[in-house]
Amino acid sequence: MKKITTFILFSTFWIYLLPLSAQTWFPVNAEWTYQTFSPFDPFNRYGIDYIKCIKDTLIEGNRASVISGFPGCSPFYGKQIFYYNSAEDIVYVFINDEFKPYFDFSKKVGESYYMYFPNTEYFHDLPYDSLEVPILSITNEIIGGINIRIQHFAITPGYYHFFRGPIMEYIGGVYGFYPESGSCDFTLFNGLHCYSDEYLSYYSNPIFQEKGCDYIPLNIFEQSHKFSIYPNPANEFIMLDSDEKFAKIEIYNILGKCVLSQENFKNNHIYIHALYSGIYYIKASLITGHVLTHKFIKL
């Protein structure tokens, strides 16, 4: 009877432990593949940037993750250290020998928090700067069998920096990993292609699972038909322009879910005021049967 009791206690402990250890923020070998672009390049060249958790470290008794890799316009330089406090549900970044909040998933809809990052612009004496993150909504998605929370927000720009797109639990920013400079002339984030670790894999578009995370889809200038969107970024509506008539328009979010569908056009206005801020993809079916795609940003 004693052996059975011991076995039951051990089994109960293992079942309790498993979901806690199955997934956390930024485990070793976690890797992000972001598309980047050069804003002042006359050819608007696109590239790929890889970010990876290269090792664990121990700081102030906390198990933390060392992250390496970033494009040229981030205020982060060298390897960065992040620590997730599961009791507080906050991801901290190590700046100037102290941990400062970076992602805060303890906040509810209607609340806000400050994302901290190194100060590189010298407009004040503090070693860090911050951006306010007001939470507009929180949604959930099942990815790889894991329930993922997603924070949707409207960033209040700082003096020089900005951070775009929603934040996915365990993964981070779906537009960029770090805040970026508004006066950048190097490379900027242009959206997350893929994320992977031991437990979780995420593809922002099925095409990256098919063709690889470093695949850069054809841009508008490489398509055989004229297709443009303006304004882009946009807030209330977008206008579509093509050399053929539209039969159907579908708009997909970064998770591949269709969030808007429209047919029988009287004009080429698409009202997007109800969409959350972030990156979206338009799939335009023409009356000739051709299908065109484009990406736009909802402010």
Residue found by looking up tokens 């008794």 in the block: 61
Of 211, 246, 277, the residue that ends a domain is 211
Q: Domain check: are 280 and 245 in the same one?
A: yes
Banded model confidence at residue 44, pLDDT cuts 50, 70, 90: low
Average pLDDT over residues 112-123: 82
| Residue at 50 is within a domain | yes
pLDDT at 222: 40
| Model confidence pLDDT, tens digit, residues 206-225 | 889 888 999 987 543 344 55
Q: Domain check: are 157 and 263 in the same one?
A: no
On the question of pLDDT at 47 being above 80, the answer is: yes
On the question of pLDDT at 162 being above 60, the answer is: yes
Of 160, 185, 211, the residue that ends a domain is 211
| Residue at 1 is within a domain | no
Q: Domain check: are 202 and 290 in the same one?
A: no
On the question of pLDDT at 1 being above 50, the answer is: no
User: Does the global pTM surpass 0.75?
Assistant: no
pLDDT at 92: 97
Residue 288, phi then psi, degrees to nearest 5:
-80, -10
Q: Domain check: are 207 and 232 in the same one?
A: no
On the question of pLDDT at 42 being above 70, the answer is: no
Q: Which is nearest to 131 in space by CA: 114, 148, 107? A: 114
Q: Domain check: are 106 and 181 in the same one?
A: yes
Banded model confidence at residue 9, pLDDT cuts 50, 70, 90: very low
Banded model confidence at residue 43, pLDDT cuts 50, 70, 90: low
| Model confidence pLDDT, tens digit, residues 237-275 | 898 887 778 888 888 876 667 888 888 766 788 889 888
| Residue at 197 is within a domain | yes
Of 211, 244, 274, the residue that ends a domain is 211
Looking at the 3D structure of the chain, how many domains does it have?
2
Kindly state the percentage of the chain with pLDDT values over 90.
34
- In three-state secondary structure terms, 284 is strand
**Total number of residues shown for the chain:** 299
Q: Domain check: are 82 and 140 in the same one?
A: yes
What DSSP line would sit under 128-164, residue for residue?
EEEEEEEEEEEEEEEETTEEEEEEEE--B--SSEE--
Q: Domain check: are 199 and 241 in the same one?
A: no
Q: Which is nearest to 82 in space by CA: 59, 106, 105? A: 59
Banded model confidence at residue 7, pLDDT cuts 50, 70, 90: very low
Q: Which residue segment(s) compose the domain that 105 sits in?
A: 30-211
- CA separation for the pair 95, 76 (Å, rounded): 10
On the question of pLDDT at 182 being above 90, the answer is: no
| Residue at 81 is within a domain | yes
